[in-house]
Structures are given as structure tokens and as C-alpha cells.
Amino acid sequence: MPSRTVIPFGPQHPVFPEPLQLTLTVEDEKVVEAVPSLGYVHRGLEKGAELNDFVKNIYLAERVCGICSFMHSWTYCSCIEELLNIEVPPRAEYLRLIFAELSRVHSHLLWLGLYADAFGLESLFMQCWRVRERSLDMQEAAGGGRVILSACTIGGMRRNLDEDMRRAFIKEVAEIRRDFERLVPVFLNDYSIKKRTVGVGVLSKEDAQSLGAVGPTLRASGVRSDARMLGYGPYKEMDFEPVVEEDGDCYARGVVRVKEVLQALDLITRALERLPEGEIKVNFRGRLKGEVFKRMEQPRGEMLYYVRASRNKNLDRFRIRTPTFANIPPLLKMLPGCDLSDVPVITLSIDPCISCTER
């Protein structure tokens, strides 16, 4: 009987930019049990949102997570728009899609960099982040901020694209694509990446469905599921097809994200070419009443917003279910049986966003 050792992994760990604690029980080098401990980033955001005016909550919703902050503000605004029966102008909807897909590009490139860093490919990490800076420059030029934009508001958008910028963006997207395509073969074919990821942390299709995985973690296990297939916003006009891989290991999860970057760049180009003319914002008045659920696809998977209000300027209840929270049970399924040295790679492969999870 090999002796068991308990190893604390985190909360402060060089692999993660964020604090996540896993208590790992290991037998020799094999992990037999992993227990997560959450709450290091809990800020009480949902309760805080009930204390604010519903318009001010946009700024709070953006700060659920700094990486996918635009998606959060879009989801929150569309919840409020549904309660107020606002018809958002088509140009604003297309601009929202462009910003959302830009943040998907920067989020996935960020993740691919951290992923490369997790198995020691530091120059690949640097290259990914170098390409990512171009998408941040686009966000800054159009939205005014590198990370948190505050460009989305109730009834539309606060920032418009002029014709020169639209043309420049189409060119810039093509250049990001060209830069990124030089990195793609490394992620797909490199010997050391394959050695570290193929067959590691396998999540079967049945497990992925029964444990409620979402996003790239689910799609890498062969399930065709993406909230963008619901056709919210302009996605219904985009002939959207989700990226699906069959193997369910860390390699497949990486491949899904690599292909999603290329797909997001395609979506941005298509949206920029079809960008309708017209207003970008409608004014609104009135008080909120009723309740609403919204599902949208974040870079990490599907998220769910619930808003309830009863004619006050404050919300009665604000609830967010974020993708990383849904992906933690599948992670705990992947970890037992793996080597201790693979724990950082497997944990990163679900793209954990702790500030989303704990809010």
C-alpha cells in the first residue's frame, strides 16, 4: 500500500494569475483525490448589485470578470432591454458582436499563452500575448479601454465605428489572422505539446454531459453545444457552426480554442463587412418589472443571467451562473489518476476564471 500525501495546490501558485486552491491527495506521483476550495475572490457582487441603480449596475456587471467583461455587460444590458421592451438598433447589435468576438480572440490568445507557459514553452507564451496586444489595440481604438470598455449600455452602444476605422479594422483582423496562423501549427503539431497533452485529463462525452460541462470543455468532448446557436443578436444571420472535437483530452481542448480564435476572426470580418447603417442607441424610460433569464456564450462557455425586478429602480435579485463554476465538477473528474506534474496543465485546460466563479 503506497503512502498517501496531501499537497496543497494554491491559492498562490505561479501557474495561475488567480487564487484557486486544490487540496490534492497523492499516492506516489498519482493524484487520487482533488478537493477544491473556493472563496478567495468572493466580493459579494450579486448583493452589491441590488444596492445600486439598475443603470449603474452595468459597471458592476463588467467587473464580474475583466477578461470577458464586454460579454457580461452585453448580457446584463439585454436582460434589462427585455424587461423594458426596447428594440436595439441593428447597428448596435452588430457592434456588440464585433466587440464580443474581439474579447473572445483576446481571451483565447491569453489562455493559449498561459497554457504554453504551463508546460514551459515560454517563447510561445510571449508570441501569443504579442498577437493578443493587436486585438487590445483594436478594443482601445474603438472602445476607449484596453480591457474594460464600458462601451455597452442599455438601449445600444456608446461607441460607434466610423467608416475609416471600419476599413482599418478589416485590415487589422487580416493581420491578426496572419500572425496567429504562424502559431497554429505549433499548437497542432509540436512534439512536446502533444507529449504533454494528448490523452491527458480525458473527459468522456457521457461525463461531460452528465456533469454539466460548458463551452470549449464540452465541445472538446464531442458535444455540439454552443449558446451562440440560439441565434441571439446578429448570430442568427452569421451561419454560425460550433467547433467540435472528439477526443476530450487537453489537446482537444487546446485545438477547440485555436479554431475558435480563427472562427471569431471570421465572424468579426463578416460583421464588419455587413455592418448596417443607422442609429447606435435608443433612449429609454420606465421602471423595470418582471423577471428574465438570458443565456450567452462567453469565451469559457455558456453563462446564465437572471434578473428580477418589481417597479423599483433597484433590482430585487441578480444572479449569474458562470461557465467556470459549471466546469469545476468535470475538472474534479479529470484529475484523479493523473500525474502530479500534469495537474497545472489539466487545471488550466478548462480555462479557469476564478473571479467569474466566485464573483
Partner 1 sequence: MNLVHLAQAKSPWVLHYDASSCNGCDIETVACLTPLYDIERFGAVPIGSPKHADMLLVTGNVNHKSKRVLRNIYDQMTEPKVVVAIGICATSSGVFHQSYNVLGGADQAVPVDVYISGCPPRPEAIIDAIIMGAEKLKKKWKEEEHPVKRSNQGSDTERSTADVG
By CB under 8 A, name the binding residues for partner 1.
11-14, 17-19, 39-45, 47-48, 51-52, 59-60, 63-67, 69, 110, 113, 125-126, 129-130, 133, 136, 146-148, 353-355, 358
Output the smallest distance, CB 128 to partner 1, in A. 9
Distances (CA, A) of 49 to 41, 63, 121, 221, 337: 17, 11, 41, 36, 41
Give strand pairing partners of 21.
37
d(CA 252, CA 258): 10
Interaxial angle between packed helices 163-189 and 122-143, expressed in degrees from 0 to 180 and rounded to the nearest 10: 160
What minimum distance in Å lies between the beta carbon of 273 and partner 1? Answer: 29
**Residue closer to partner 1, measured from CB, 13 or 281:** 13
Would the CA dihedral through 16, 325, 234, 230 be positive or negative? Answer: positive
C-beta of 233 vs 299, nearer to partner 1: 299
Shortest Å distance, C-beta 55 to partner 1: 14
Q: Which is nearer to partner 1, 126 or 170 (CB)?
A: 126
Cell 418582471 found at: 290
> Strands 289-298 and 317-321: what pairing?
unpaired
Q: Is residue 10 within 8 Å of 29, Cβ to Cβ? A: no
Distances (CA, A) of 163 to 272, 275, 276, 304: 10, 10, 12, 35
CB of 62 to partner 1, least distance (A): 8
Which one, 13 or 159, has the nearer CB to partner 1?
13
Min CB(333)–partner 1 separation in Å: 25
Nearest distance, CB of residue 239 and partner 1, angstroms: 32
Residue closer to partner 1, measured from CB, 66 or 199: 66
Length of the chain: 359
Q: Which residues contact 101 (CB under 8 A, 6 or more apart)?
A: 264, 265, 267, 268, 271
Question: Residue 25 and residue 56: Cα distance in Å, rounded?
Answer: 45
Q: Measured from the CB of residue 48, what is the shortest distance to partner 1 in angstroms? A: 4
User: Residue 106 or 270: which CB sits closer to partner 1?
Assistant: 106
Alpha helix ranges (H) inside the chain? 45-51, 57-62, 69-84, 90-118, 122-143, 163-189, 191-197, 205-210, 215-219, 250-274, 323-334, 343-349, 354-358
| Residue carrying C-alpha cell 505561479 | 14
- CB of 270 vs partner 1, minimal distance in Å: 27
Closer by beta carbon to partner 1, 243 or else 303: 303
According to DSSP, the residues that pair with 31 across neighbouring strands are: 26
Shortest Å distance, C-beta 183 to partner 1? 13
Cβ-based nearer residue to partner 1, 46 or 207? 46
Quote the radius of gyration of the chain (alpha carbons, Å).
Answer: 21
Is the CB of 80 or the CB of 109 nearer to partner 1? 109
